[in-house]
């Protein structure tokens, strides 16, 4: 962890990092998806912070581990400034938003774990004959060349062993491979440093979701074959977990923005106005509710349906794709999270559309952020960031 604490000093020294490109490279190499090693050599820490830069909102949480049990000590969220993530990224707006979020949430740490947006990282599941680690890294790079047009020299590539199977004496390793353009990671480190923050590690959203819903404790919801759907503003993370083991992951290019656009189109509203109506008045009605409600509520429900059909179509396509994989077992139920699932009536709607039980994800941690409208319930928009904060806590 030495490298990180050094950088931490540089960052707190007025924000701008004075490091050379070479040391920066070393730094993010160690940070990006470093999985087991650091945990073994790092001094035992008991407080962790994570930031999720989502397309719709930036979220932060801080977790303390008290007598082995994690509890959330601070959290907060801020809207993503309009267009800030468009190319080229609006660095100034992002730094200002990060500064404000750190101040208002009251997190104590300045070293954070973060995730790369679902649309920026390319992940694939590959199977290779079991081989020594060094050879595996070379074989993975070779495989990546086949599915990403960008030269591998311009990518940061990491792999995670999910399982090893044996058939007729031949061992096969199932890998989750992630690749991100190196330039994007440089941008990430720079923006965080400018906001006075050090990136301790960059996590994968799918791993964060597995951790928060199936990793922290053996929850009954994770028994059997379970689909997890985190539906954000622009992307949806889809995972299949079988007997608590991560089996399949996919990023879908759809999210709550589809519903806002559909509402905007129906009423002829600007995006922001449509978003306000969705948040304040949006509700999906069951057949019984529709029969006993106002004309206005029925129209809002109707205006959301075009976006919903597209969302469900994409989700179904991914479920079918998973089902076509060798050895796939039928998904018994779904756990849902992400801001978009907070739309009233969404859980019931999805259960009907997928013809399977659907339940909200529940980390069950003391102090976890709660929904503004239903304070007894976990605020689903925090699932990814909470999972990232648990990165050093859950093996
Ligand atoms: N009460 C609500 N009703 C309906 N939609 C909601 C509600 N609250 C939030 N949303 C929607 O949730 C989305 C934001 O969720 P979230 O913060 O999980 O996304 P994100 O992580 O920023 O995006 P992405 O994962 O695509 O990068 C937006 O589309 C927003 O309109
Ligand atoms: Mg998200």
Q: Could you please report the per-residue DSSP string of 3-23?
A: HHHHHHHHHHTTS-----HHH
Structural element, H or E, at residue 202: strand 198-203
The mean predicted confidence, pLDDT, of the chain is: 88
Ligand 2 geometric centre to CA of 233 (Å): 7
| pLDDT over 50 (residue 346) | yes
Q: What is the mean pLDDT of residues 320-333?
A: 95
**pLDDT (tens digit per residue) in 83-115:** 998 888 899 999 999 999 999 999 999 999 999
258-272, pLDDT tens digit by residue? 999 999 999 999 999
Closest ligand relative to 379 C-alpha? 1
The answer to whether domain 2-119+182-209 and domain 221-361 are alike in fold is yes
**What percent of the chain has a predicted confidence (pLDDT) above 70?**
89
Whether the Cβ atoms of residue 343 and residue 259 lie closer than 8 Å to each other: yes
pLDDT band at 395 (very low <50, low <70, confident <90, very high): low
Q: Is the whole model's pTM more than 0.85, yes or no? A: yes
| Strands ordered across the beta sheet of 170-181 | 122-129, 170-181, 155-167
Q: Which atom of ligand 1 is nearest to the CA of 57?
A: 22
For atom 24 of ligand 1, which residue has the closest CA? 232
Atom 21 in ligand 1: which residue has the minimum CA distance?
Answer: 54
List pLDDT tens digits, range 202-229.
999 999 999 999 988 767 778 899 999 9
Pocket test for ligand 1, best of 51, 52, 56 (most atoms within 8 A of CB): 56
SS3 for 297? Answer: helix
Sketch the domain layout of the chain as residue ranges.
2-119+182-209, 124-179, 221-361
Q: Do residues 237 and 251 lie in contact, with contact meaning Cβ atoms separated by under 8 Å?
A: yes
* CA dihedral sign of residues 173, 175, 181, 187: negative
Report domain 2-119+182-209's class: alpha beta
Q: What is the per-residue pLDDT across 10-26, written as a single tens digit (0 to 9) for each? A: 333 333 222 333 444 44
Determine the atom of ligand 1 nearest the C-alpha atom of 259: 29
Index of the ligand 1 atom closest to the CA of residue 256: 29
User: What share of the chain has pLDDT > 90, as a percent?
Assistant: 76
Tokens at residue 286, please? 């069951």
- CATH entry 3.10.450.40 includes domain 124-179: no
Ligand 1 in reach of 232 Cβ (< 6 A): yes
Note the pLDDT of residue 92: 96
Whole-angstrom distance, CA of residue 325 vs CA of residue 328: 6
Would you say 393 and 71 are in contact if contact means Cβ atoms under 8 Å apart? no
Decide whether any atom of ligand 1 lies within 6 Å of the 234 Cβ.
Answer: yes
User: What is the helix (H) or strand (E) element at residue 346, kind and residue range?
Assistant: helix 346-354
The partner residues of 125 in beta bridges, in order of sequence, read 176
pLDDT at 342 over 70: yes
Give 127-172 pLDDT, tens digit per residue: 999 999 999 999 999 999 998 999 999 999 999 999 999 999 999 9
Regarding the beta carbon of 117 and ligand 1, being less than 6 Å apart is answered: yes
pLDDT digits (tens, 9 = 90+) for 358-377: 999 999 999 999 998 888 89
Q: What is the pLDDT of residues 259-308, one digit of tens each?
A: 999 999 999 999 999 999 999 999 999 988 988 889 999 999 999 999 99
- The strand order across the sheet containing 245-252 reads 245-252, 236-242, 225-231, 333-337, 358-360
Inform me whether the pLDDT recorded for 38 exceeds 80: no
Rounded to 10 degrees, what is the CA torsion of 28, 97, 79, 87? -60
Architecture of domain 221-361: 2-Layer Sandwich (3.30)
Beta carbons of 97 and 55 less than 8 angstroms apart: no
């Amino acid at each position: 962890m030495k490298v990180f604490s050094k950088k931490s000093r540089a960052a707190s020294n007025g924000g701008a990092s004075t490091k050379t490109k070479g040391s920066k490279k070393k730094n993010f190499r160690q940070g990006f998806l470093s999985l087991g090693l650091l945990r073994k050599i790092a001094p035992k820490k008991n407080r962790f912070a994570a930031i999720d830069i989502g397309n719709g909102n930036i979220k932060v949480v801080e977790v303390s581990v008290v007598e082995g049990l994690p509890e959330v000590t601070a959290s907060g969220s801020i809207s993503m400034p309009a267009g800030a993530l468009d190319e080229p990224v609006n660095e100034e707006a992002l730094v200002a938003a990060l500064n404000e979020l750190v101040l208002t949430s009251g997190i104590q740490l300045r070293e954070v774990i973060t995730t790369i947006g679902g649309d920026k990282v390319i992940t694939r599941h590959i199977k290779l004959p079991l081989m020594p680690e060094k050879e595996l890294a070379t074989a993975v790079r070779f495989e990546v060349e086949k599915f990403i047009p960008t030269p591998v020299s311009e990518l940061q590539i990491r792999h995670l062993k999910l399982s090893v199977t044996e058939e007729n004496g031949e061992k096969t390793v199932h890998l989750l491979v992630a690749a991100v353009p190196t330039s994007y990671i440089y941008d990430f480190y720079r923006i965080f440093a400018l906001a006075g923050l050090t990136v301790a590690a960059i996590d994968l959203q799918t791993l964060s979701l597995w951790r928060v819903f199936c990793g922290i404790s053996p929850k009954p919801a994770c028994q059997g074959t379970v689909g997890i759907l985190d539906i954000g503003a622009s992307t949806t993370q889809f995972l299949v977990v079988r007997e608590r083991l991560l089996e399949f992951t996919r990023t879908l290019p759809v999210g709550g923005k589809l519903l806002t656009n559909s509402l905007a189109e129906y009423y002829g509203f600007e995006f922001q106005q449509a978003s306000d109506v969705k948040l304040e008045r949006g509700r999906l009605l069951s057949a019984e509710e529709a029969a006993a409600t106002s004309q206005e509520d029925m129209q809002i429900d109707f205006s959301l349906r075009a976006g919903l059909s597209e969302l469900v179509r994409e989700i179904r396509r991914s479920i079918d794709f998973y089902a076509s994989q060798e050895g796939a077992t039928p998904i018994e139920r779904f756990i849902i999270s992400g801001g978009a699932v907070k739309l009233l009536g969404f859980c019931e709607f999805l259960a009907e559309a997928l013809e399977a039980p659907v339940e909200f994800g529940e980390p069950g941690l003391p102090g976890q952020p709660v929904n503004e409208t239903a304070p007894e319930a976990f605020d689903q928009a925090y699932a990814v960031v909470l999972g990232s904060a648990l990165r050093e806590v859950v093996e």
